[in-house]
Amino acid sequence: MDATVISANAAVQNRKELLRAARRRLFRAWERIDAKTAAETANQLQEEYTNASEPDLAKEEKLTQHLLDAVDAAGHTELQSLRDTVAQILSGEGGVTNLIDPDGRWGFKNKRTPFFGYKAHASMDASGIVTSVQILSGNEHEGEHLPELLEQDVRKGHRFTSVVADKGYDSIGNRNAIRSHGAKPEIPSRNAGVLAKTRFRYRPRKDTFVCPGRKETSGKTPFKRRVSVLLFANRLPKLPIEKPRVWERRKPGSECISATGFGSHFRASEVYGEHCTTGRPSNAHLAS
């Protein structure tokens, strides 16, 4: 499974241009239904805002809102769909950035390359033949739609013993969805190389953690808005570094275990969540 970018064949407009284009389209549609009322409204708005002193964008927003109010007062149900689109543009909700292709959305091919349009989310068999396709908006994450694509394949009678995808699809829900069809998920883990939470043991009497190397935490110290469990160098023989660096990850209300140490088999990790996930280095250091 994977997704391919489809760039929309439409110019991207700024907010002021988009509001003007939206009003023009709404006026044209209104004129086809009731030319007299539409013309009267256009004249009224022109007289009211010709000498307005507001900044250009503020004036465009007020003009658009008054037009929407006039359309609502006229009560033409035929204009409702277009009226709702214009209202979305005015409110900034829904991500509409072009009237020619109002369903197109901004997304990213990668971290640095944005695009405007859609994604073709497809599944294919081992021979490379596409079995199912769904079209997503550019801002939708294809990893959230894996179960839907699996259901399409099942309805078409396609059988599969495994599902291969990149780590963008790595989630408990996706893995369970694949297993529910009797198949094996072949998805690389986002936390590859990090120890699982279940490999740590908690000692409630001492309120300490024990790592897979049987080394125990020596105490706690408060850090910002949560409690960190810190592992001290003097409890860890033959450390690969002179002073273990403290790693931290903000997660208010959680307890975490953080340090490099435990010999060469342990990497900086946190114990909350489904897996231990690597944190990021802070400037703090512990004395040995």
Residue pair 98/104 in contact (Cβ under 8 Å)? The answer is: yes
Q: How far is CA 16 from CA 19, 21, 23, 54, 63, in A?
A: 5, 9, 11, 13, 11
149: CB partners within 8 A, 6+ apart: 1, 121, 122, 123, 132, 134
Quick check: 29 pLDDT over 80?
Answer: yes
Greater model confidence, 261 or 18: 18
Q: How many helices (H) and strands (E) does the chain have?
A: 6, 13
Question: Three-state DSSP class for 37?
Answer: helix
| Structure token pair of residue 243 | 């002073």
Round to whole Å and give the CA distance between 40 and 31.
Answer: 11
Round to whole Å and give the CA distance between 34 and 275.
Answer: 62
Residue pair 216/233 in contact (Cβ under 8 Å)? The answer is: no
Residue pair 74/34 in contact (Cβ under 8 Å)? The answer is: yes
Q: If you average pLDDT over residues 218-236, what whole number do you get?
A: 53
Q: If you average pLDDT over residues 235-258, what whole number do you get?
A: 41
Q: pLDDT (tens digit, 9 = 90+) per residue, 95-134? A: 788 888 888 888 988 888 999 999 999 999 989 899 999 9
